[in-house]
Structures are given as structure tokens and as C-alpha cells.
Amino acid sequence: MPMPDFAWILRMAFRDFRKNISRLLLFVSSIVVGIAALVAISSFGENLTSDIDNQAKELLGADLVLENNKPIGDQPIDSMALNTASEVNFASMVAFPATGASRLTQVRALEGDFPFYGYLETIPASGDADFRAGGKKALVEKILMAQFDAQVGDIIKVGEVEFEIAGELQSVPGQTGITATVAPAVYIPMAYLEETGLVQYGSRVEYNRYFVFAENTDIDLLIEPFEDEWEIERIDADTVEDRKRSTGRSFENLSNFLSLVAFIALLLGCVGVASAVNVFVKEKLASVAVLRCLGVSSRDVLLIYLFEILVMGLFGAILGSILGTLLQFILPAVFADFLPVEVTVGISWLSVGFGVITGLFVSVLFALLPLLKVRNVSPMATLRPETADSRLMKDPSRWAVIAGILIFIWGFSYYLLGSAQLAFGFTGFVVFAFGILWGVGQLIMWAVRKFLPISLRYTVRQALSNLYRPNNQTISLIATIGLGTAMISTLFFLQNQLLEEAKFADKEDQPNLLMFDIQTPQLEAVKEKVTGRDLRILQEVPIVTMQLNEINGVDKRENEELPDDENYSRWMYNREYRVTYRDTLIDTETIAEGELIPVGARGDSIFVSLSASFAEGNNLKIGDEIEFNVQGRPIKTYIGSFRNVKFNQVSTNFIVLFPNGVLEQAPKFHVIITRTKNDRESAAIQSEVVREFPNISIVNLGVIVETLEDILNKISFVIQFMAFFSIATGILVLISSLIISKYQRMRESILLRTLGAGSGTVSKINTLEYFFLGSLASLSGIILSFAATWLLSAFVFDMNFRPAWGAGLMLYLAITGLTIVLGWLNGRKIINQPPMEILRGNG
Amino acid sequence: MNILSVKDLSKTYKSGSRSLTVLDQVNFDIQAGETISIVGPSGSGKTTLLGLCAGLDSASTGSVQLNGQALEKLSEDQRAAVRNQDVGFIFQNFQLLPTLTALENVMVPLELKKRKDARTKALELLEKVGLGDRATHYPTQLSGGEQQRVSIARAFANEPKILFADEPTGNLDTETGEMIEKLIFDLNKEKGTTLVLVTHDTELAGKTQRIIHIKGGKIQEDAHA
């Protein structure tokens, strides 16, 4: 075959293009939103990475931080630093004496000028200076101030000491809004820490020492000689580079996840492109037959239309990239609660280029599938038009295009996820989700056709029949709108389900108040206070802290020498274990493997039980030998069983469970779990206990639900913002398909009105058609999301599935309503004009 | 000299286990410059015969020699090249490309032949069919008769050796139909093209030199006028 005459092909493409420009624009509009989302996220990620680089020192607030769970003594590098600061962190109740209210907070006792980079932002601005000027002053996180309606100048009580609030804390370097929600901070001067009486046995305390060195100091080189010693002491050293790496990594993960969500929106758009091009091609078949008849080769015909798609794809991609670049200006506000640095916004040419190339590529790739049809159009169709609609299924090239699409999805997700396996998983998920929606759509359509009662009113039957009209794109609309709906509603249902589950825990006889850090001498008094109010003690749990010396004879130092695939996690040796002892399971536990073995049952060996997920994550087996260090005394144990632990109740859950008869004499503290009748009773006992024993921390279910709700709202806002792109794409595909089918609808409308149907009847038929279309699409999505929520509830969150019928109904009404409104806007012109006017072409 | 030679031509369509023979062992030759009509009732196979003779479709058995080339030995794209070089078409429903102007529609066959004077030549042809002033109009802006005149100009543009016309007046009123018939025969005479007409219209058929009657896929009569 001779080389194609590109000049002529371009000329023909241009000639065809100028009459189809508005129609072709509709095709590419489907990808605009997806590309915009991709470019916005990618630009945001790029800018965030560079901001993390630029503000890395503010992330840490110092050049180096040493962390340990015991006091960090004098260090040799103290003398090398320009300045140092110390901080002691621990969770404790803070009381507001004016109202008698109290809440668990993160207390930070500070000494020195930390942060050395960045600053503690307070209201009033002088709050920080005032706090450091001396005296019993505190800085309190804004979320706490708001919750207790506290003012600067009010008094708070931390342990035994009362502090005056010097300022409302707005932001702390390196800390996100989410951290503040989970553990709101209260800063107090280190000088009064001891006086608070809060640091006692069992308190989970973290000691931080911050260092700042002369500019241009190579920190890694500086600390190298001390690292071995710190390792033994279990001191963790964190440099600016470390923090930059870990923060960068987590935001890269976040950015990649969001890009995947944007990619789903783009894929939905691609389905829109394929569907619209399919209609375009069907309309072009007659022209293709004429061109073939006049002697144009099948390859050249394909190239003419491909070139048109290429130009429009480029246009759509550029438009999407511009929109995406503009969109990223609002992203810092969307992600505000998750960002540890201030994000600058600006054009990222790398992201724009990435968006343009991706847009161009996907529009061609997905358009190619329907476009291949033009290769098989017989010139005989000029004489027999009914033979024009050649079957794509006959063309073997379609397999190459389908393979190309799958490779593209896999390749793109591999680029984002960095794992071939995950990319296969994602590709599988996409194929599955589309397949399911396609299947649901087909099934519903088949069922309507098969079981449509003839006795239905004419308008209803006609509207339902309209769904089958050729080129109606009903199935692709169900797939695109359905997937968008499914994404949004799954998130919505799941959020609802988690909250319901938390609230459901507040049922009869279920614990709802937990007191911890109770010292042994305080135990009886606390129990008396509880029982004195006619409350039952549901659990009384002794807790012993310990560390791990050896696993199967391998100690920490030997473990360091082992190759990566043979050693145990360093974290297992470094962490502190809070352990209880009993010979029975509690409600939230079940045995996964082995059995609980009491002391003496098998010689003098001690058998412990481990959480199954912990054991699985760390490659431990039944029978493995573990030596613990209990307050300096080694205790050799063997793994006797693994337990599955449910974390959906107010309860104490332990990674390691000892049998009775081993730890009774060890130093310990206690947890008491009870159930109060209402929030008022909870507040009263909380206030009474904290007043007398300020070191005891109390959590009630109300606070947990509140915090969970707050966090879920923040997360779901971000995810729903991303899912919005999918819905927007679905709507664009809907609008484009309505406009494409306008001519056909117009002809049907004329026919009906010529046959005597009034505008009311035509309008009713159209409205009903949109109602059915919207219903099918939204119901498919909602059904899919119910299934997804059920699967996630059963297999991931281990919860009972409670369908959110109300929320489902709201979504159904919203999406169906939107479809009807859009359809009505598209068709109102047809209905209001006399048939002759449209026939004459004035319509 | 034969411009078209049809030997033992058959066309059978298969639908499941059933097969339908539309053309059955058809034989005839057409001399260069001859005008010929193929007539017959609906479903007799005349359109199928036209499609096979013009290389628009491939036969089940038999052969078609068009200007010395055995069409059954050519691929679809090779047949397309033959159509562009040697064949012109006029259709009942005009078959103009709706996104091209009248002028551009006529230019297409010339451009495919890489003629540098495509525009001038196309304009000349439009003038000849009386549409010089409608050159920039799109098909939807033209009447049926005007569209068929553009179609005729396009058919003669590549100076085909043979012209196939399928019911060229079938969609037109009598007056316009007569005007189109005259145009086709005048241009045919002027260019010396072979003309193969498929029609129901016996009056139109009577204007050609030879009439082939076809019925049930077989030639019933092949008579010179």
C-alpha cells in the first residue's frame, strides 16, 4: 500500500472537523475534569514536595531531636550544640476548674527555646513570649479552648498545679490539624512538671531533647560516633533529613492515592469518550462508505477521523491542564488539616506536560476502539445502507486496543503505586467495577424489556422503550454515573457505619468509661468512688510494663547483625509492652490458634498469648521463645496461642497476655472499666476522680465518638472532594450524550406530535425517560456501594452491616433529580416549538 | 474492446443454516463507450450485480474483469484504487459527504488522483452542471436535484472509464428527473464514458443502447435497443 497522503488526510480531517467542532468538543469534555483533577493533584504534590524541602527545618523545629521513653541524660553532643531544649510529653487529664470539666490531652512540658525554627503561633501573638517569661503559665490548643469555652487568662489544672492560660495555640511547627484533633496539646513550663505529680510508674512518657547546631554542620557526620550508644539506650535520633524523608514519603503516598482517585475520574471520562465516539462513528458510517466508494483506503479513512480525535484530545487535555492548574489554588484549603507545612501554589510545568500527554493519549486510545469500525465499512453500504453498521467484534485489531487500554491502566497505576502487584490489583478493581456496573446495567435493561407489562400507561411504556433507542448510550451512562455514585455513596455509607458502630457500642451493659494510670495505692479508693455511685466495675485490669530481651535466643544486638530477610523488626526490641495477666478470654477476644495455657499446666514453662495480627506482622510462630525484661528481671516465655482482638468497644486490648501467677508481684498500675448511665454521670465521676487523683486519665465513649466523628469528617471531606470529580465527569458524559441524541429526540418528538400527542404528553415521556435513566444509573451505583460497604464491614472493619437506607434514598433522589433537570433543560426547546418549524430546520 | 467482462458470476448470502442465492451464473460483456441498463423487479439482484461489477463487493463465485483487471484477485484497498482510477458513481440518494461543500465534494476524486488543478477542474464541472454559483453550499443547503447534479459532477470528475448509476432519478420529481437524465447522457456522450444504469424506469432504460433484464438472479434477456 502506498504511503498515506498526509496533506490530503489533514485537509479532509479539517473539512469534516469544521462541521463537527461542537460535537467533537462534547466528546473531549468528558476527559477535561479527569485531567484537571490529575494536574491539580500532581501540581499540588510537586509544590508540596518542594515546600517540604524548603521548610524541612520547621518540620522538626530543630536540627536534631533525640527521643526516648526514659529521661535522656547529659549527652556528649550537648557541648557541640549552639542551643538545646527539652520536652516531656505524656497524656493526662487537664481540668478547667471554673466549670469543673476535664479532658484527656497531650501535656508538653517545655524547657528552652524550642522551636528553634518556626514558632508557636498563639492568640494573642504575645502569648508565646508571656508563656516563656516565667511563672505558672500554659499554652492551650485552640480546639480545647473552644470545647470548654475557655478564655486567655482562665485557669487550668494539670495534675496538682494550676496554670494561667497565656495564649491560645494556633499552630505548632510540623504538627497537622489532625494531630491537634486526636491529641490536643497543652504546653506547660518544665519547671513545674514534678510539682504536677503526673509522671509516675506506668505513665507513658516521651522525653525529647532538641538541638540546634552552627549553620552548615553535617548532622549525620556529627552524630555518627554516638549512634551505637543511642541504639543500646533505645534513644531514637531524628534529623531534618530523616523528617523530610518520612514526611515526604507519607505525602507522596497521599498524593499518589489522590492521583489514583483522579485517575478513576479520568477513566470514567474515557468511557464517555469511547461512548460518544461510538455514536459519532455510527453517524459517519454513510460518509465512510462514500469515501471507500470513491477510492479512499480503509487506513486513510481511519486516519482522517483519528486526526480529528487527536486535535480534540489535545484541546481537551490543554483545557483540563489549565483548569487543573487553577484548581490547585483551592487544594491547600481542602487539605489544610493534613498539611504540616505551608503550601505555596504555582504552575507546575511538569504536571501540565504530564496532563497534556496523558489526556492526548487516553482520548486517542479510548476513541480507537469504536473508531476501528470505520476500517470495516463496506463501500456496498452506499447501495445498501443497512450493511453499513459493521460489527466491531469482527476486527482482530480490537484485541490490540483492549490490551493497550489494560496496559495503560496497569502502567499508570504502577507509576503511582510503585508496585506491580498493587497495579495488577488496581487494574483488576477497575475492570471488576466497570464489569459489575456494565452487568448491572445490562441486567436491569434486560429485566425491564422482558417484564415490561403491556398494561402500563403509554407514556411510561414509551419512556422505557426510549432507553433502548439506538445511540442512546444508556449502558455507558449507567456505568459512568453509577461508578461516580458508587464511590461517593460507599464513602458516605462507610463513614456512617463507623459512627453508628461507635454509637452502638453505647448499649446496655457495654462499658463506656475507662480510667487508666491508676496506681496500686489509689486502686481501692477509685473502686469505692465507682461503686459508691452504684456503678458496676466491668473490668479491673492490672498492667505491667516490660521490654523484650530476646526472640528465639536472638537479642537486640544479634538481631542487628542478621540479614534483612532473617531479622526481626527493630521496633519489637525497642518498644515498651503493656501487659496484663489472666487465664481467660474477654468478650472482645477469640483464640485464633493454640490455647491459653495456665502456669503449671506444662511443667514450669510460661506460655503467653499474642495478638494474631501482631504475630503475623512479625513472623512469630506458636512455640517461639520470647524473653521479656520485667523491671530488670528476665522472664523466659513461650508463645502458647494467638488471639484475634476486636477493637470496636471501650475495652483494654493487649498484644501480650500473661497467665496468672507470674506478674502478680511486679510493679503495676491499673485500669478500671465501668458503665455510666448518661453523660452527666460520666462528667460527674470524671470530675470527682480527677480532682482527687489528677494523675488518673479518663476516656469516655462520648469523647471517642466525638473525636472519631471529627476525624472522619475531615477525611471524608477530602475524599468526597476527590469523588466529586467522578460525579462531575458522569454529569458531563450525561450532558454530552443528551446533546448528541438531541436530533434523534427531536425527530421522535415531531413524529409523536404529528401523530397528535400534545406537548404535555411529549414532555411527560421525556421526563419519565430521564427519571428512568437517572434511577437506573443511581440505583446501580447505590446497589454497588451497599455491596462494597457490606464487604468492607464484614472483612475489613469486622462490623455488622447496617444499610444506610436514608442516605441511600437521599443520594438516589439527588442524582435522579439532577438527571431530570438536565434532560429538561436540553429538551425544553423541542417541546415548545411547533413541529413544522423544526421540520423546516428553523428549530 | 470489453471494458467489463462478467463470467459465471454468483452471489450467495448465508444466514445461519440457510443460504440465499441472489445472483446465479450471470455472464455478459460490455464494450467501451457502450450505454447499458440493468432492469428488473425489486429483489431481482440488479443492485447486487451493480455492486459486484463496480468492485464494491466480492462475488461468491465467478469473475469480473474491469478494464482488464480481475476484481476477485484484488484486496478491498486495491479495488478502492481501481474505483478511484476507472469508476464513477451516481446514487439514488446522492451520497454527498455532508460536511463538505459542493465544490469540495467534487474535488475529492481529483485530490485522490493528486491532481494539482483539482479546484479549477471541479469548479469547471460545477459550472457545467449549472451550479457554479452554489459551489460553497453544503449538501443540506441544496435541493434534491441540485444534490444529484453535484453528484454527477463528482462522478465525471476523475474522467472514469465506466460510470455506474443506481436509480439516478429515483428520488426526484419527473421534471428534475428528466433534467438529470439529460445531463447524464450529454456528459456521457461528451466524455465517451461507458454507462451502466440500474433502474426500474423502462423509459429511462430505453434511452440506453442495450438493456439487460434480470429476474431471480438470472439474466432473462440481453437485448440491444
> A121-123 and A101-111: which strand pairing?
unpaired
C-alpha cell at A459: 407514556
**A271-275, A392-396, B116-120, B154-158: segment of lowest average pLDDT:** A392-396
A823 shares a domain with A722: yes
Residue B48 cell numbers, joined: 447486487
pLDDT for res A842: 42
What is d(CA B64, CA B6) in angstroms, rounded to the nearest whole number?
5
Residue A756 is classified by DSSP as T
Picking from A174, A198, A216, the residue at the C-terminal end of a domain is: A216
What is the band of A560 on the pLDDT scale with cuts at 50, 70, 90?
confident
8-state DSSP, A468:
T
In a domain, A244, yes or no: no
Instruction: Assign A730 a pLDDT band (cuts: 50, 70, 90).
Output: confident
> Is-contact A462 A765, C-beta < 8 A?
yes
Cβ <8 Å between A292 and B91: no
Q: Do A292 and B166 touch (CB under 8 A)?
A: no
Instruction: Verify whether the Cβ–Cβ distance A294 to B96 is below 8 Å.
Output: no
**B50 and chain A in contact, CB less than 8 A:** yes
State whether residue A419 is helix, strand or coil. coil
Phi-psi region of A169 (alpha: psi -120 to 50; beta: other; left: phi over 0): beta
* Cβ separation A294–B114 shorter than 8 A: no
Q: Distance between CA atoms of A161 and A165, rounded to whole angstroms?
A: 13
In chain A, which residue's Cα lies nearest the Cα of B92?
A383
Question: Which of the four pLDDT bands, split at 50, 70 and 90, describes residue A841?
Answer: very low
B157 to chain A: closest CA residue: A294
**pLDDT value for A640:** 94
Same domain, A392 and A253: yes
Residues A752 and A827 in one domain: yes
Write out chain B residues lying below 8 Å of A286, CB-based. 95
Nearest to A19 among B99, B108, B154 (CB): B99
Do B157 and B122 touch, CB atoms closer than 8 A?
yes
- Domain of residue A804 covers 419-504+704-843
Contact residues, chain B, for A377 at CB < 8 Å: none
Do A627 and A725 lie in one domain? The reply is no
Composition of chain A by helix, strand, coil, percent to 5: 60, 15, 25
Beta-strand pair B194-199/B35-39: parallel
Where would I find the H helices in A618-755? 679-692, 701-740, 742-754
Higher pLDDT, A393 or A639: A639
Residue A21 has pLDDT above 60, yes or no: yes
Query: What is the mean predicted confidence (pLDDT) over A528-534?
Result: 89
Q: How far is A25 from chain B (nearest CA, A)?
A: 16
Task: Return the residue of A nearest to B50 by Cα.
Answer: A383
Q: Does residue A228 form part of some domain?
A: no
Phi, psi of A723 (to 5 degrees): -65, -25
User: CA-CA distance, B20 to A755, in Å (whole number)?
Assistant: 38
Is residue A568 located within the same domain as residue A655? yes
User: What global pTM score does this model have?
Assistant: 0.73
Domain total for chain A? Answer: 4
Give the residue ranges of DSSP H helices in A108-175. Answer: 127-132, 142-147
Examine the domain organization and report whether A105 and A31 are in the same domain: no
pLDDT recorded at residue A405 = 92
CB pair distance less than 8 Å for A297 and B47: no
Specify whether the CB–CB gap between A445 and A468 falls below 8 A: yes
∠ Cα B175 B158 B70 (to 5°)? 110
Q: Which domain holds residue B96?
A: 2-224
ipTM score: 0.89
Q: What is the pLDDT of residue A843?
A: 39
pLDDT number for residue A622? 93
**Nine cell digits for residue A842:** 428553523
Q: Which of A15, A295, A299 sits opposite B100 (nearest CB)?
A: A15
CA distances from B147 to B110, B158, B185 (A): 19, 18, 17
Same domain, A261 and A379: yes
State which H helix or E strand residue A210 sits in: strand A205-212
Highest mean pLDDT among A196-210, A230-244, A719-733, B127-141: B127-141
Burial of A44-53, coded b for 16+ CB within 10 Å and e otherwise, reads: bbbbbbebbe
Helix, strand, coil shares of chain B, percent, nearest 5, are 40, 30, 30
* B97 in reach of chain A (CB within 8 A): yes
Q: Tell me the chain B residues in contact with residue A287 when contact means C-beta distances shorter than 8 Å.
A: 97-99
**How many domains is chain B built from?**
1
Which residues in chain A have Cβ-Cβ distances shorter than 8 Å to B50?
Answer: 383
Q: Is A1 contained in some domain?
A: no
Cβ-Cβ contacts under 8 Å for A216 (sequence gap 6 or more): none
pLDDT of residue B27: 93
Mutate to test the interface with A, among B69, B76, B198 (most CBs of A within 10 A): B76
Quick one: closest CA in B to A382, which residue? B95
Q: CB distance A18–B99 less than 8 Å?
A: yes
* Chain B residues with beta carbon closer than 8 angstroms to that of A388: none
Question: Which residues of A are less than 8 Å from B76 in CB distance?
Answer: 292, 298
Between vectors from CA A151 to CA A147 and to CA A154, what angle results, nearest 5°?
110
Cell of A453: 407489562
Q: Determine the residue type at B12.
A: T
The per-residue pLDDT for A835 is 60
Q: What is the DSSP string of A304-350?
A: HHHHHHHHHHHHHHHHHHHHHHHHTTTHHHHTGGG-SSPPP----HH
pLDDT at A647: 62
Considering the domain architecture, whether residues A348 and A481 belong to the same structural domain is answered as no
H helical segments located in A644-700? 679-692
Across A34-53, average pLDDT: 86
Q: Are A137 and A80 in contact (CB under 8 A)?
A: no
> Is there a contact between B138 and A19 if contact means CB atoms under 8 Å apart?
yes
All residues of chain A having their beta carbon less than 8 Å from the beta carbon of residue B112 are 8, 294-296
Interface of A with B (CB under 8 A): 1, 5, 8, 11-12, 15-16, 18-20, 286-287, 289-299, 378-380, 382-384, 841
Mean pLDDT score, A407-430: 86
DSSP β-ladder status, A101-111 and A185-189: parallel
> CB distance A15–B99 less than 8 Å?
yes
A68 and A51 share one domain: no
Residue type for position A364: V
**Residue A383 and residue B166: Cβ atoms within 8 Å?**
yes
Provide the shortest C-alpha distance from residue B97 to chain A (in Å).
6
CATH number at residue B208: 3.40.50.300
Give the up-direction half-sphere exposure of residue A260: CA atoms within 13 A in the CB hemisphere. 22
CB pairs under 8 A between A and B: 81
Are the Cβ atoms of A294 and B83 closer than 8 angstroms?
A: yes
> Residue A652: pLDDT above 90?
no
Inter-chain contact A293–B95, Cβ cutoff 8 Å? Answer: yes
Confidence label for A291 from pLDDT (cuts 50, 70 and 90) = very high
What is the full per-residue pLDDT of chain B (225 aa) written as tens digits?
789 999 999 999 887 778 888 899 999 999 988 999 999 988 888 888 999 999 888 889 999 999 889 998 998 888 888 888 889 999 888 889 999 999 999 999 999 888 889 999 999 999 988 899 999 999 989 998 899 999 999 998 988 999 999 988 888 888 888 888 888 888 888 888 999 999 888 888 999 999 999 999 999 988 886
Cβ atoms of A375 and A391 within 8 Å: the answer is no
- Asked if the model's pLDDT at residue A127 lies above 70, the reply is yes
Interchain contact B46–A (C-beta under 8 A): no
Q: Does B47 touch chain A (CB under 8 A)?
A: yes
Query: Residue B54's closest chain A neighbor by CA?
Result: A293
Helix (H) or strand (E) holding A836: helix A835-839
A289: nearest CA in chain B? B95
Note whether A313 and A378 are same-domain residues: yes
Among A231-245, A326-340, A708-722, B119-133, top mean pLDDT goes to: B119-133
A140-159 per-position pLDDT tens digit: 988 888 888 889 999 999 98
Q: Give the residue from A10, A283, A290 with the most B CB atoms within 10 Å of its CB, the best one to mutate.
A: A290
Q: Output the pLDDT for position A649.
A: 61
In this complex, the residue of A20, A297, A383 whose CB is nearest that of residue B56 is: A383
Identity of the residue in B56, B99, B154 whose CB atom sits nearest the CB atom of A20: B99
Nearest CB neighbour to A296, from listed B51, B99, B112? B112
Residue with cell 473539512: A15
Which of B47, B77, B140 has the CB atom closest to A383's CB atom?
B47
Residues A791 and A813 in one domain: yes
Q: Is B95 on the interface with A (CB under 8 A)?
A: yes
Selecting from A18, A290, A378 the residue whose C-beta is nearest the C-beta of B57 gives A378
Residues paired with residue B18 on neighbouring β-strands, in sequence order: B15
Residue A471 pLDDT greater than 60, yes or no: yes
CB contact under 8 A, A383 and B100: no
Put simply, the answer to whether A287 touches B97 (Cβ < 8 Å) is yes
Q: Residue A353 has what pLDDT?
A: 93
**Contact residues, B window 119-158, toward A, CB-based 8 Å cutoff:** 138, 140, 154
H helices within B61-143, ranges in order? 76-86, 102-112, 118-128
Average pLDDT, chain A: 83
Tell me, yes or no, whether A717 and A813 share the same domain.
yes
Domain assignment present for residue A605? The answer is: yes
Residue A478 lies in a domain: yes
The CA distance from B68 to the nearest CA of chain A, in Å, is 18
- Nearest-CA distance A252 → chain B (Å): 49
Give the dihedral of Cα atoms A402, A407, A409, A414; nearest 10 deg.
170
pLDDT band for position A389 (cuts 50, 70, 90): low
